[in-house]
Structure 1
Amino acid sequence: MGKLDGRVVIVTGAARGQGEQEARLFAAEGARVVVADVLDEQGETLAKELGALYVHLDVGEEGDWRSAVTAAKDAYGHVDGLVNNAGILRFNALVDTPLDEFMQVVRVNQVGCFLGVRTVAPELEDGGTIVNTASYTGVTGMAAVGAYAATKHAVLGLTRVAALELAPRRIRVNAVCPGAIDTAMSNPALLDPSADREETSRALDELYRKLVPLGRIGRPEEVARLALFLTSGDSSYITGQPFVIDGGWLAGVSIV
């Protein structure tokens, strides 16, 4: 038996990267996955491969959220879980960040998470789960990612409030806080079909060798396994918590 047998889980930003690996792992563990994204071609291809349902979902649009939940219930009858994975990153010094850019990041990362919780939670079966994707930068600071860090701090606040409010229904709400992960967000070369993915990943490992105690960049499959833990019964007494997955980066600076 799989750890998610019979459960219906919506995964946002599921067409590639962490979301794709979460969708793949959840399906392998018996879940009926709703692959949600704005990348329709990639999302539909993945859903077809997994025997899953694809829905177009711009996480900043209330109507898209309502349509996604309706589609999930029409297809599977109920919803048991949500992984708020969709997110974007923009690099800029805080004082040089245009308001439009800041609000673009807020709309996807923060508003998208809020709308997901607000729309899906009332439809969840009692005992359901929500996993929000925050970040290493949601528990510390990092130069040049002010908008991103601000939204990820906000995601942790939303996670804790939702955990308290939904606890009477035994709905657990937790957050994953990845450090640098080998996805298109940290490795734009992955968006180039002609790029050697293994070579670019090795280059990133070398870059992070001195920054991260475990000596490499993280893999999306590793984040997916953490999301599985928080969605499955293995974490039955855990709610309202941030889970940092960063290879030890947050632990501190080594001088040797």
Structure 2
Amino acid sequence: MRQVLITGGGTGIGRAIAHAFADAGDAVTITGRRPDVLKEAAKSRAITCRTADVTDEAAVAALFGTPFDVVIANAGGGASGKLVKTSLADWNSTLAVNLTGTFLTFRAALPHMTTGGRLIAIASTAALKGNASVPAYTAAKHGVLGLVRAVAHDVATSGITCNAICPGFTDTPLADDAITGLMRRFDVDRDKATAMVTSGNPQNRLIAPDEVAATALFLASPEAAAINGHALSLSGGEI
């Protein structure tokens, strides 16, 4: 039975990934900052909950008292707003949770990981193109992809892989926040705001969290052993 750790596992993509691995028979641990959210995500399955902030070096290190076979750095987020309206505090907090959090997670996981191990970062299409509305988030996710590629070269001869999944807008509370924000900003209804959010996807839809989870399951499988340092765009052709 594989030991699987997912950061930010209480909601959205992280929750879907946790459920998918648990349903596949893996021993799953989810982390996050809110114990109540973690417990809610875990209650229907045998999932272990650990409260931790991925920007806290000591808290992340404490997660790895025992080794994990699959480690998925999913915790992330960030405020929207063009560059001139981005405060230094928002910039720093966005880089901390997305980029530094992934760095701390992978750095703590790797010394304990053996052949067949999998490091997976949940990045974004923002790692593959510019987005004027979220400059801090875009910069952070570009950094995540650079880190993934560097680590992939580091682990290439050890039988471990490191990859990134880059979803487009996904049907999660974060996407709902973006839709609600557009409704207020442009005084449009939900259907119009949703169409604005999904306009970058040629399939004109939101990505389902379960699609991201299925991709993570594949990258963690033996059949994906030759996939290393890859940014897998899950975006309906946006990238």
TM-score (norm 2): 0.91
Question: What are the Cα deviations for residues 169-188 of structure 1, in whole angstroms up to 9, with x where unaligned?
Answer: 21100000111111111113
Asked if the contact 1:182/1:201 (under 8 Å) is kept, the reply is: no
1:37 aligned partner: 32
226, 230, 234: which one pairs with 2:223?
Answer: 234
**Residue 45 (structure 1) shift:** 2.8
Distance 1:232 1:201 in 2: 39
Shift of 1:126: 2.1
AA paired with 1:188?
D
Q: In structure 2, what is the equivalent of residue 128 of structure 1?
A: 117
- The corresponding residue for 1:171 is 160
- Residue identity over aligned pairs, in percent, reads 32
Say if 2:71 is the partner of 1:82.
Answer: yes
Aligned to 1:254: none
Task: Tell me: CA distance 1:33–1:201, structure 2 relative to 1, closer, same or farther (3 Å).
Answer: farther
Matches within 5 A, 1:149-168: 149-168=138-157
What is the CA-CA distance between 1:149 and the residue it aligns to?
Answer: 0.2
- Inter-partner Cα distance in structure 2 for 1:44 and 1:209: 31
* Stretches of 4+ aligned residues off by more than 3 angstroms: 200-211
Spell out, residue by residue over 1:198-246, the C-alpha distance to the aligned partner (whole angstroms, 9 max, x if none): xx99776544564321121111111111111111112111101100001
Aligned to 1:26: 21
- Between the aligned partners of 1:69 and 1:207, the Cα distance in structure 2 is 42
Instruction: Measure, in 2, the Cα distance between the counterparts of 1:66 and 1:209.
Output: 38
SS in 1 for 2:50: strand
Unmatched 5+ residue regions in structure 2? 181-188
User: Does the 8 Å CA contact 2:169/2:198 hold for their aligned counterparts?
Assistant: no
RMSD, aligned α-carbons:
2.0
Separation (CA, whole Å) in 1 of partners of 2:57 and 2:173: 26
1:12 aligns with 2:7: yes
Partner of 1:3: none
1:8-51 CA-partner distances (Å, limit 9, x unpaired): 11001000000000000011111100111112111023223211
CA distance in 2, matches of 1:85, 1:201: 27
The aligned counterpart of 1:115 is 104
After TM superposition, the structure 1 = structure 2 runs for residues 45-124 of structure 1, keeping only pairs within 5 Å, are 45-70=40-65, 73=66, 78-124=67-113
What is the CA-CA distance between 1:57 and the residue it aligns to?
Answer: 1.5
1:204/1:217 contact within 8 Å kept: no
Distance 1:210 1:15 in 2: 28
2:179·2:197 contact (CA, 8 Å) conserved in 1? no
Measured after TM superposition, the shift of residue 132 of structure 1 is: 0.6
CA 1:95–1:46 in 2, change beyond 3 Å: closer, same or farther?
Answer: same
Q: What is the SS of the residue equivalent to 2:21?
A: helix
Q: Structure 1 residue 156: deviation in Å?
A: 0.6
Aligned counterpart, 2:184 = none
Q: Structure 1 length as normaliser, TM-score?
A: 0.85
- Deviation track 1:104-139 (CA, whole Å, cap 9, x = no partner) reads 001100000000110011111222000011110111
- Measured in 2, the distance between the counterparts of 1:133 and 1:168 equals 23
Distance, in Å, in 1 between the alignment partners of 2:9 and 2:179 is 16
Unaligned runs of 5+ in 1: 1-5, 192-199, 251-256
Query: Number of matched residues?
Result: 231
